[in-house]
Amino acid sequence: MPMSSTIASVSALQVRLPFDHGGPAPLFAGKRRTTLDSVWVRVELENGMVGWGESYGADLDAMTSIFRNRVAALAVGRDAQEPGLAAALDRTLHNMGRSGPVTHALSGLDIALWDLRGKLAGVPVYKLLGGARRTRIPAYASLLQYYGDTSLVARNVASAMAAGYGQVKLHERTLDSVRAARAAMGAGVPLMLDTNCAWDRQAAIAAVNEMREFGLHWVEEPVWPPEDLASLVAVREATGVATAVGENASSLFELMALVRARSADYVQPSAIKSGGLSTLKAVADACAGTFVTHSPQSAFFGPGFLATLHVLAAQEQEVAVERLFCQLGHVPYAQSVPFEGGAFQLSDAPGLGADPEPSLLSGPCVS
Ligand SMILES: [Mg+2]
């Protein structure tokens, strides 16, 4: 006799959100991108309850295949309330690689299981994480790349400020872009710079030293490869500017080592890449009371974004959530988790607090 919380099905939906970031289509992994893509994970229990997760969409067809052939095959028939179910599947699948699509898929499953645990208990997920220290989560505007076009940088920084954001992050690499952003936002507003691994150690130190006068709150992934932590530490030591890293870390183990060694000031796991909500929770707990801040990466808009908000609601230190600054063809959860006055407001609805809108699921963004 199956329990009511037995998993009946796991399916992967391909979600492509059209976006406009006020500039030419940016490159992503060498291709122009016109949609922001991820896989939304739908887990249905035998009692009919549905939980939602999100996985990184490096290749949507690959993710669909992994869910069908690997994750669903192992998860169906298991109890969604089984502690460590996602971790157990991680162990089972470990020889398929310790990062990449399988890990991304398990991240989405983990998020969906947290949504279900909250719904089964009738409480918001932040309650399961120890309770909310805040339900209003401030956000920073994470601008996409304008490739050094300082007028586009300035215009979009001004738009972000006008939209209510109190902090801004650039994905740029030039001194002129940083200068233009600072001029557009004025003094005193936190400004972060994410180079997506632009430089080697010496080039990073030289560039960041030049930018220092414009007041960088942190410099994110300044060196290639991102796992060159010795160079990352050297950038901080040579410039005095705080560093951030973590979205390309492959496992919780690697993230915990980052925290313990204080290899960066801000550690940035991605909920949809590095093990789901469980990883964010573990890193947040490890950072509590230390000099390292858990400041997750969240360049996505679905259940993974909600999972990130719940961890930030519960963690000790208040940090702003990353929100990509662009107009979306569909804004998920615009009504249920509204953005007002520079912050996202979580409700006390059970689980992650919101399900995907029927208009999204039946519309052209989803296949
Ligand atoms: Mg980043």
Rounded to the nearest angstrom, the distance between the alpha carbon of 361 and the centre of ligand 1 is 28
Q: What pLDDT digit, counting tens, does each position of 97-108 carry?
A: 888 999 999 999
Q: What pLDDT digit, counting tens, does each position of 27-64 carry?
A: 888 888 899 999 999 999 999 999 999 999 989 999 99
CB 312 within 8 A of CB 280: no
- What DSSP character marks residue 135? S
* pLDDT on residue 250: 82
Provide the Cα torsion 150, 153, 154, 157; round to 10°. -170
Token digits of residue 168: 């801004």
Rounded to the nearest angstrom, the distance between the alpha carbon of 194 and the centre of ligand 1 is 6
* Position 2 pLDDT exceeds 50: no
In this prediction, what percent of the chain has a pLDDT beyond 90?
93
Rounded to the nearest angstrom, the distance between the alpha carbon of 47 and the centre of ligand 1 is 39
Secondary structure (3-state) at 327: strand
Rounded to the nearest angstrom, the distance between the alpha carbon of 220 and the centre of ligand 1 is 6
CB 140 within 8 A of CB 328: no
The alpha helices in 122-192, defined as continuous H runs, are 125-128, 150-162, 175-185
For residue 356, which of 63, 52, 4 has the smallest C-alpha distance? 52
Rounded to the nearest angstrom, the distance between the alpha carbon of 227 and the centre of ligand 1 is 14
Rounded to the nearest angstrom, the distance between the alpha carbon of 31 and the centre of ligand 1 is 18
Ion ligand 1 residues within 5 Å by Cβ? 194
In this prediction, what percent of the chain has a pLDDT beyond 70?
99
Average predicted confidence (pLDDT) for the chain? 96
* pLDDT on residue 337: 98
Rounded to the nearest angstrom, the distance between the alpha carbon of 265 and the centre of ligand 1 is 14
The Cα–Cα gap between 160 and 243 comes to: 23
Token digits of residue 182: 């600072």
For residue 94, which of 102, 105, 84, 82 has the smallest C-alpha distance? 102
Q: What pLDDT digit, counting tens, does each position of 61-114 carry?
A: 999 999 999 999 999 999 999 988 999 999 999 999 888 999 999 999 999 999
Cis-peptide into 138, omega within 30 deg: no
For residue 169, which of 258, 235, 268 has the smallest C-alpha distance? 268
* pLDDT on residue 3: 59
Residue 67's alpha-carbon distances to 40, 70, 92, in angstroms, are: 11, 6, 14
* Position 254 pLDDT exceeds 80: yes
* Position 143 pLDDT exceeds 90: yes
* pLDDT on residue 1: 42
The Cα–Cα gap between 60 and 30 comes to: 16
Q: What is the set of domains in the chain, with CATH numbers?
A: 7-122 (3.30.390.10), 127-361 (3.20.20.120)
Token digits of residue 160: 């972000």
- What DSSP character marks residue 147? T
Rounded to the nearest angstrom, the distance between the alpha carbon of 351 and the centre of ligand 1 is 27
pTM: 0.97
Q: Given CA atoms 247, 252, 258, 259 in this order, what sign does their dihedral have?
A: positive
Rounded to the nearest angstrom, the distance between the alpha carbon of 352 and the centre of ligand 1 is 24
The Cα–Cα gap between 272 and 3 comes to: 28
Q: What pLDDT digit, counting tens, does each position of 153-184 carry?
A: 999 999 999 999 999 999 999 999 999 999 99
CB 319 within 8 A of CB 169: no
